[in-house]
Amino acid sequence: MKINNVSSEQAVNQVNKNTKVLSENIERLSSGKEVNKFSDNSAQAAQVVSLNNKDKALRQVDKNLNQGTSYLQVAESGMNEVSSILTRLKELSVQGASDTVNDNDRSLIDLEVNQLKEEINRISENTKYNNESLLNGAGRSISLLAGEDVNSSNYIALDLSKLNVSTSKLGVSGLSVASQSDSQSAVQEVDDALTALAEQRALVSSVSSRLQFSISNNSTQQVNNSSAKSKIEDLDYAREMSEYTS
């Protein structure tokens, strides 16, 4: 005669269930996460995966924006030096335009003027970021993706070809203080060069300002994304311990 030990089977089944629940409790307590795998809660697990992907995208956006900022910082540094040189050229031009110096004095002043013009051109040709020219007009137009979604409104553009601080572009390649009349003309030429340089610096400054706001906004999005993920994923330790010990 065959006997079915129902009570024994039920007891074994209950032990297995208790063991599974206990194992899941331990897993959650060890990881600190409410959801560790899709079988725990497929909907919440899918949300966590989506938020993780978004977090990685936002981190890359942050790198994009900071790299753009680096471009601008290097360019601004070069333009700042050119501005200082032009200021010195203005001083020398004013000095040469005065009757208090003679042509011999002016020829000596002109030596410095020529050296300073060469330095402007050196800065123009050799100011680079990642081996890319920034201040000689040969740069390319770059577009920085400022968000996780790829659409035209999410790009910040910077046309590096508009940045050119060479003496020819600034209109001071022929600058001379060899005579009083040359010096008088040089004063206006340097003023015009400073104005042209200021326009380029304004372009860099405006894009830099926008990048800073974009970086701030992206940082806020990262915080909000982490908060949303935490609400789904983080374990309620008090409740879990209560269930574990009950």
pLDDT in tens, 21-73: 545 555 555 555 656 665 666 777 778 778 888 888 889 999 999 999 999 99
If you compute the radius of gyration of the chain from its CA atoms, what whole number of angstroms results?
Answer: 34
| Side chain identity at residue 203, one-letter code | L
The pLDDT score that the predictor gives to residue 228 is 80
pLDDT in tens, 118-175: 999 999 999 999 899 999 999 888 898 888 888 888 899 989 999 999 999 999 999 9
Average pLDDT of the chain, as a whole number: 84
Cβ atoms of 68 and 156 within 8 Å: the answer is yes
| Helix (H) or strand (E) run with residue 191 in it | helix 180-233
Residues 6+ apart with CB under 8 A from 232: 34, 35, 44, 47, 48, 51
Provide the H-helix boundaries in 97-179.
103-126, 167-170
